[in-house]
Each structure stands twice: as C-alpha cells, then as structure tokens.
Amino acid sequence: MTTCNTLTVLHYTGGSAQTETPIGVSSAGQPWLSNGPGAVPDFGGQPMINPFQPCFSAYNSANMNNVTGDGTNYSLTLDSTQINNQTCYNTSTGVFTAPVAGNYLFNIAIVSNGLGLLFTQGQVKLVTTSQTYTLSSLNIGALKDLSGDLYTSISRIVPLAQGDTVSVQFSVSGSLKTVGLNGTVNGATFQAIMLPS
C-alpha cells in the first residue's frame, strides 16, 4: 500500500509560530502555502504541481510484436513511465493500484501494427478489481491505414476504492497471432490521474 506524505511549514511572525499547509509545489520546487480555509493562494504565475496526486503515464520502450490476432487477450505491460506519482503503476505487471479512493480518469492509446482485412474484431478492455469495462470493440481490419497500423485512444472515468487494481487487455481476432503494438512514448500508452473531489 502506498501512502501520501505530509509536510508542515512553520513561519515565525512576531515571535509566534504559524503553521501553514502546502497545497502544491511550483515548477521551481517551492511549496505553495494556504493560510487557512477560504484563503486564496497566490501561485506567482507558476503552474501548480501536486506531487502527492496519484497519476502515471506509462509506455513501452520497444514494439510488442505478435501479441494477438488469434483472439488472445494480451495484458498490456508497459515497462517505462514518464510520470509515476505515488509509484502507483507497476512496470513489471502493468497494473495500477489506487493509493487512495476517488474518481480516476484513465486514458489508453493503442497503436496496433500488422493488421490486415482478415482481422475483423479488435477490443480494448479496462479490467478493475470490481468490473471489466469494454472501451472499444471495432472491425479493426477495416479501419487500418495502408501500412496496417491503427491508432485508437479511449478515455473513461472510473470510481475506485483504495487498493483497487486496474489493467488493460487488448485482443484482435480473425486470423493468426501476428498483430503487435508500437512502443515508445508515441506508441501504446496507459495513463491515469485522480480527479479532484
């Protein structure tokens, strides 16, 4: 289980200590502070980055070849991350674990390769602890480009309890196991961010 760290900042004014709670961190690494309920923080024109907000963006460092095409459900296991706050995405298993309960926005980009007209069914599923969501079900062979590639991007908001897990399954059927996924940051990606309550 992953827990959030807290930070308390003390300021001394007129001989007495005042406690302020950081509400984020500037791109320069300086904490932004709130002087209590109702106070309007001044971010000094800097974008707000909350290092404790669960979010990740994962991709694979190389192409994943011949993973489906014969109906095989391929579990998307991406070995690299650009962002992984709370270390909530496991690059060894391809599983996201919610560090806190809340509503999460997931985005999955599938860049498939090796497609032909015989591949008539392609599906992308988001598999959570309590439910499986079919996000896309297409005649993938009819939608491919001339080089046999197809880019699909899907988003879904999902409520999760603390400790719930989420993974992605990709399957193509209709012919042989010759369909793959493009790697690198411009290929297949799996991303999530916890939305404000």
Say which amino acid occupies 159: P
Structure letter (DSSP) for residue 36:
S
Residues of the chain with CATH 2.60.120.40: 55-194
DSSP letters, 114-153, are S--TT--EEEEEEEESS-EEEEEEE-HHHH--TTS-EEEE
**Looking at 22-36, 101-115, 142-156, which range is the least confident one?**
22-36
How much is the average pLDDT of 3-12?
A: 37
132: β partners: 127
Position 16 pLDDT exceeds 50: no
| 55-194 is classed CATH 2.60.120.40 | yes
Q: Report yes or no: 119 and 191 within 8 Å, Cβ to Cβ.
A: no
pTM: 0.75
Q: Report yes or no: 41 and 33 within 8 Å, Cβ to Cβ.
A: yes
